[in-house]
Amino acid sequence: MSQYFPGSSNFTIEGSTFNTVTYRNQNAKGSIIGGFERLQEYVAHGAFHDSAERFDPPKCHHNTRVAIINRITDWINGLNEDTREALIMWLYGAAGAGKSAIVQTIAEILDGQHFVLASFFFWRNDPQRGTAKLLVTTLAYQLAVKLPLVFRERLGQAFEKDPLINTRSLEAQFKALIREPLLELLHSGFPTNNHLVIIIDGLDECDDPKVQARIVDLSFELLRGRDIPLKILIASRPEIEISSSFDGKPFSTLARIALDNNYQSVEDIRHFLADKFNEIKTQHRLRSYIPIGWPAQDSLNTLVRKSSGQFIYASTVVKYVASAHHRPMHRLEVVLGIQLPKAGDNPFAELDALYRHILMGVEDVDLILQIIGFVILHPPYPFNSVAEIEDVLSLAPGDVELLMQNLGSLISVKNHPFDPEILTICILHASFKDYLLDQSRSKDFFLDSLKMHTHYAELYLAHMTEHPSFQSNSSLQPFKGTTPSILICLNFCVLTA
């Protein structure tokens, strides 16, 4: 009787029948399912770096991105004094900058060196990879199949203790499925000098911006005690929720890498294009019809310039030109605008889908397109001055920065290189301008240059006539005390007359 009422004594129950019921998980065939087997039901198989679903994933072309790959692997191995204390690294850059290719290359290097690696590659178009619901269980599974049995046993216990652990908060899952099993592993004698690595790529592709920020926060929370030998590499676009979350973290625990011109991406793109065009010349079925000097150096220079340091443009061009069902020379001329594409043929379909996805995710897109139109239609300076744009559009100071905060992967708002007092707007992709000015590509995001010029001229004229210096009848008076904004207006009206 005591087994039914633990801790009780000196009592009697008469005339009763007791039934013992033991709960065990069973599958449809009636066989018992253990905790680890239950975990496998909640794994996003396509999120692995070596998943069959992701074959053939983008990776760095041979002999490119060498400096950045070395910096990341040095951080993982503790070889760089500047980043030795950091347990988390954030790799960020504009859309199409090549983040996923770099991360994939890092994952393959670590896998080849027998690191204990767990990865999750987010992708918005996959129902399993476009959300964080399977993030923790997927990472835990990968660690379990590579670590000693102690880790797997603790995972199984977590599921047996709470069969619905996979539905709990991300905080609860990180604790029960990663942190506690790792601590158990360490207590069993697992050497602490064996660093484990978690890679999370494309965090901005997760469907909820608030969850994106939570994942960053939980990564730091997981490693706060510095008591588990784990490093986490996160790659994403610099979206506002993610950037804000990283900005609030201690400098000592975080290493950052911005994919910018410091890593010679322009020369890497030139090298990539040259190699790929050589492959086309030697492997395409029509290779005997391709001249030795193809493509011309001017054509290559144009492609490098239009890439703007972003690999997605270069890789999109190569895929289009290399098609086995078309003539490479003709297709390159289509890309360069020398020839018109056939009906329904879009060499930049992949790039256009990316631009459209980003623009659809922002608020006040019409006003944002007005601002971008100023930058596209005018010389680089002073028309891209944030203050001047806000002045002419009657916006409050700071409005442009707020409007552009979710376009950080396409638009940069930063101080002018020669005058830190002036805030300017810079378009990061030269091809983004081409997209917006081509109605067949941008559809409802199309910027009609003629209508824009007319609209901006009207705005400028209204802005001038409201200025006090233009209220005088004197022919000389208007130019006395004229502000830079008014001079810009005059210049624009002359140019568009």
CATH number of the domain to which 225 belongs: 3.40.50.300
Q: Look up residue 439 and give its two tokens.
A: 């109605």
Q: Which of 355, 342, 283, 350 is nearest to 316 (CA)?
A: 350
Residue 469 binned pLDDT confidence (cut-offs 50, 70, 90): low
Residues 119 and 242 reside in one and the same domain: yes
pLDDT score at 31: 40
DSSP string, 113-144: TT-EEEEEE--TTSTTTSSSTTHHHHHHHHHH
56 preceded by a cis bond (ω within 30 of 0): yes
The 10s digit of each residue's pLDDT in 361-389 is: 899 999 999 999 988 877 554 457 898 88
- Same domain for 96 and 112? yes
Distance of CA 79 to the CA centre of its chain: 27
Beta strands (DSSP E) in 155-269 are 196-201, 230-236, 254-258
Percent of the chain with pLDDT over 90: 65
76 plus 168 within the same structural domain? yes
For the stretch 436-450, pLDDT in tens is 999 999 999 999 988
Is 94 a member of any domain?
yes
Check whether residue 196 and residue 326 sit in a common domain. Answer: no
Residue at 23 is within a domain: no
For position 5, what pLDDT does the model report?
55
pLDDT value for 32: 43
Segment 341-370 mean pLDDT:
92
* pLDDT (average), residues 85-100: 94
Tell whether 53 and 154 lie within a shared domain.
yes
Q: Is the dihedral of CA 257, 98, 300, 268 positive or negative?
A: positive
Q: Flag whether 463 is in a domain.
A: yes
In a domain, 55, yes or no: yes
Q: Residue 493 pLDDT > 60, yes or no?
A: no
Residue 17 falls within a domain, yes or no?
A: no
Parent domain of 282: 265-347
What whole-number distance in Å separates Cα of residue 243 and Cα of residue 247? 6
More confident residue, 242 or 475: 242
Question: Are residues 304 and 188 both part of a single domain?
Answer: no
Cross-strand partners of 118: 198
Burial (CB count within 10 angstroms: exposed 0-12, middle 13-18, buried 19+), residue 9: exposed
> Cβ neighbours of residue 182 under 8 Å, at least 6 residues apart?
143, 151, 196, 228, 230
Q: Structurally, how many domains does the chain consist of? A: 3
Residue 34 has pLDDT above 80, yes or no: no
Classify residue 96: in a domain, yes or no.
yes
> What does the pLDDT read at residue 30?
39
∠ CA 369-372-378, rounded to 5°: 135
Name, in order, each residue with C-beta under 8 angstroms of 27's C-beta and a sequence gap of 6 or more.
33
Question: In the numeric block, which tokens belong to residue 73?
Answer: 């692997």
Write down which residue in 347, 379, 404 finishes a domain: 347
Q: Which 8-state DSSP code applies to residue 26?
A: B
In contact, 25 and 38? CB cutoff 8 Å: yes
Q: Are 277 and 294 in contact (CB under 8 A)?
A: yes
| For range 396-405, the mean pLDDT | 93
pLDDT digits (tens, 9 = 90+) for 237-255: 999 999 999 998 887 889 9
Mean pLDDT, the chain, rounded, equals 87
| Other CB atoms within 10 Å distance of the CB of residue 94 | 24
Which pTM was predicted?
0.83
Determine the pLDDT at residue 371.
93
Whether residue 101 is contained in a domain is answered as: yes
Q: Is the pLDDT of residue 297 over 50?
A: yes
Higher pLDDT, 381 or 330: 330
420-425, Cβ contacts within 8 angstroms, sequence gap of 24 or more: 422/382, 422/385, 422/386, 422/387, 423/385, 423/386, 423/387, 424/381, 424/384, 424/385, 424/386, 425/371, 425/372, 425/374, 425/375, 425/384, 425/386, 425/389, 425/400
Residues 228 and 333 grouped into a single domain: no
Over its C-alpha atoms, the chain yields an Rg (Å, rounded) of 29
In CATH, what number is assigned to the domain containing residue 413?
1.10.10
Which among 220, 245, 260 is the end of a domain?
260
Lowest mean pLDDT among 115-124, 142-151, 187-196: 187-196
Name the residue with tokens 């140019």: 495
Q: Does 21 fall in a domain?
A: no
Q: Domain end: 347, 375, 396, which one?
A: 347
| Whether residues 483 and 436 fall in one domain | yes
| Same domain membership, residue 239 and residue 184 | yes
pLDDT (tens digit per residue) in 412-430: 898 877 777 889 898 988 8
230 plus 306 within the same structural domain: no
Residues pairing with 416 in the sheet: 419
Please tell me whether residues 294 and 241 are part of one structural domain.
Answer: no
| Residues with Cβ within 8 Å of residue 483, at least 6 apart in sequence | 467
- H/E segment holding residue 486: helix 484-496
Q: Do 97 and 235 share a structural domain?
A: yes
pLDDT above 70 coverage of the chain, percent: 85
Query: For residue 43, which of 117, 115, 134, 122 has the smallest C-alpha distance?
Result: 134
Tokens standing for residue 437: 């000015």
Tokens of 464: 């001038």
